[in-house]
Structure 1
Amino acid sequence: MKEPPMSRPVIVITGGHGALGSAVAKAAGEAGWTVAVIDHARQETQGADMTLSGVDLTEPGQAQQAIQAVAEQLGRIDALLNIAGGFVWQTTEDGDPAAWGRMYALNVTTALNASRAALPMLKQATDGRIVNVGAAGAQKAAAGMGAYAASKAGVHRLTESLAEELKETSVTVNAVLPSIIDTPANRADMGEANADKWVKTADLAAVMLFLASPAARAITGAFPSPAGSEP
């Protein structure tokens, strides 16, 4: 019999309505976590114990309110997985300059605001965890990837800095660096010829949940890169 939600560790997943977020939420529930999902989209995520929709995590106040609601309803927060984000492909010469700010807001600011809001609860946990989603493409940006790669590089630096700041606590901060993730949107945009080489959402979820687990207490400031084709 499944334990009641209040007695199980609580994992907060931002961007939980998307392809990766949904896969992580499903895997987390099956692994015994109490799952809270926060997303801008208004829909339900299968397997979530608590869902907060219509939340703009680029706004610090909304991030704070959402995290506080989780803490009040579920009584604790043990892990935060920052999956919320966005992607754009455009060349520097022909693209919209505003996309650079939009990518920073969606990929860096959302992770920053959620992390800041969750830190008080994570510090109270026996093994507090933050797991961010970076990108292999941020280590060497391909053509058309400037805005996206720059924002994901910001996620990498946020991860490193916060890991250092929290070294004297029980909270660890890590990030995964996937290449192309096998999602319906990527198959629609890029075709399916090489999809068998892309990172599967279930495999990436397994890595993220390991980093969120007590077994990963010795790892912080790390960037695992699941195998897959480079973008």
Structure 2
Amino acid sequence: MSERVVAITGGHGALGQAVVEAALAQGLKVAVIDHASGHAAPDSVLEVGGVDLTDPAEAAEAIATVVAHFGRLDALLNIAGGFVWRTVEGGENEWGRMFALNLTTALNASRAALPHLKASDEGRIVNVGANGALKAASGMGAYSASKSAVHRLTEALAEELKSSSVTVNAVLPSIIDTAANRADMPDADPRAWVAPADLAATILFLASPQARAITGALLPVTGRV
């Protein structure tokens, strides 16, 4: 088994579960940090539940729990986030909520993890942006703006860390093939979407030592959309 330790925020969501499964298959040591708690998981997975990553103190405590358990941290995979479709005129609280769920969670977790990632020979941060944030569609203003901010966070942090071992990259998926998306778009062809397992494989490559030459990348993962 690899000695590398990965912390996965939002590990109980559809994508998060796919990443956990793929990480375990690669022999990685896995910690799941999530707002939800009480989920069943393999015994080898460290569950850190009930965490509000929009609170810097809770994010720091969660990362400290991971390091105390495993003795190290090599990669942070920021998968926690949310989505809402709402027009600018019709929305009220969605902008703040989207920035909190998508940007603030990644920012707080990254800040908390950085001292430990710098201590790793091959520290990694992988964020989840959105291909839809490259050009916002109707009803996608709040979501796209928050994911665009994740892109800028990725680029800025990658530049700041170029003198260290830590790389920072983001994947930009289009529509992910989840049960929720199938329910919301019953007339679409999900075969054109991105399978969670395929996106998980891309994330874990960016989190691997083999991706050491890649930093500051915003990698589209768009299936056949």
Cα separation, 2, equivalents of 1:188 and 1:218: 39
Cα separation, 1, equivalents of 2:53 and 2:109: 7
Runs of 4 or more above 6 Å deviation: none
TM-score by length of 1: 0.94
| 1:213 is the counterpart of 2:208 | yes
Please state how far the C-alpha of 1:193 moved relative to its aligned partner: 2.9
Letter of the 1:151 partner, please give it. Answer: S
Paired residues of 1:122 and 1:128 also in contact (CA < 8 A): yes
How many aligned residue pairs are there? 224
Please state how far the C-alpha of 1:228 moved relative to its aligned partner: 2.6
TM-score by length of 2: 0.97
- State the match for 1:51 in structure 2: 47
SS at match of 2:170: strand
Paired residues of 2:172 and 2:222 also in contact (CA < 8 A): no
| 1:109 is the counterpart of 2:99 | no
- State the match for 1:71 in structure 2: 67
Please state how far the C-alpha of 1:229 moved relative to its aligned partner: 5.3
Q: Give the unaligned 5+ runs of structure 2.
A: none
Q: Residue 174 of structure 1 is aligned with which of 159, 169, 173?
A: 169
Q: Percent identity?
A: 65
Paired residues of 1:22 and 1:45 also in contact (CA < 8 A): no
Cα separation, 2, equivalents of 1:153 and 1:106: 13
Letter of the 1:25 partner, please give it. Answer: V
Letter of the 1:16 partner, please give it. Answer: G
Cα separation, 2, equivalents of 1:166 and 1:143: 36
Structure 1 vs Structure 2 CA RMSD: 1.2
Cα separation, 2, equivalents of 1:190 and 1:184: 10
Q: Residue 222 of structure 2 is aligned with which of 199, 202, 227?
A: 227
SS at match of 1:11: strand
Cα separation, 2, equivalents of 1:43 and 1:224: 33
Paired residues of 2:175 and 2:222 also in contact (CA < 8 A): no
Cα separation, 1, equivalents of 2:102 and 2:40: 21
Cα separation, 2, equivalents of 1:221 and 1:68: 26
SS at match of 1:182: coil
Q: How does 1:186-205 map to 2 (within 5 A)?
A: 186-191=181-186, 193-205=188-200
Quick one: structure 1 residues 22 and 192, their matched pair in 2 at CA, closer, same or farther if it must change by over 3 Å? farther
Q: Select between 166-175 and 183-192 the one with higher mean Cα deviation.
A: 183-192
SS at match of 2:6: strand
Please state how far the C-alpha of 1:227 moved relative to its aligned partner: 2.7
Letter of the 2:116 partner, please give it. Answer: M
Cα separation, 1, equivalents of 2:166 and 2:218: 16
Letter of the 2:72 partner, please give it. Answer: R
Please state how far the C-alpha of 1:192 moved relative to its aligned partner: 5.3
Q: Residue 88 of structure 2 is aligned with which of 78, 86, 92?
A: 92
SS at match of 1:54: coil
SS at match of 2:98: helix
Deviations 1:109-143 (A, max 9, x none): 00000000000000000100000000000001111
